[in-house]
Amino acid sequence: MARFKIITTAGPGTGVPGADHSLEMEALAGIGAEIVEVKGGEDELAAAAVDADAIYGKGRPRITAKVINAGKKLKVVHRGAGDVRLRRAAGRLRRASAAL
């Protein structure tokens, strides 16, 4: 089992170099991280976020307050500012950091 779980919204087949996460996995292997690709919508992403340490959003669905609030262990949310509700994310992640 991986030490850290990172979920992502994008996957292979996008035509973008590195979209298969091979570069990320090579960089993260030393800390025991795994990248889990989530297919589906907001509900599927929220379900996957429950035990995730980070969300790496490269596409749809959007990372919403529902997804962030579902992620009880989240430490990092990465996505363009237009898709993450920054105030909600900041408050949620501050509370998570205080609990560490």
Question: Residue range 57-68: average pLDDT?
Answer: 79
User: Which residues pair with residue 36 across a beta bridge?
Assistant: 7
The CATH number that applies at residue 52 is: 3.40.50.720
Domain count, the chain: 1
State which residues form the domain around 39: 4-99
Strand order in the sheet with 54-56: 33-37, 4-8, 54-56, 76-78
Single-letter code of the amino acid located at 82? G
Please tell me the pTM assigned to this model.
0.68
pLDDT tens for each residue of 41-58: 889 999 999 999 998 877
Phi and psi at residue 24, in whole multiples of 5°?
-65, -45
DSSP 5: E
Please, are residues 28 and 5 in contact by the beta-carbon 8 Å criterion?
no
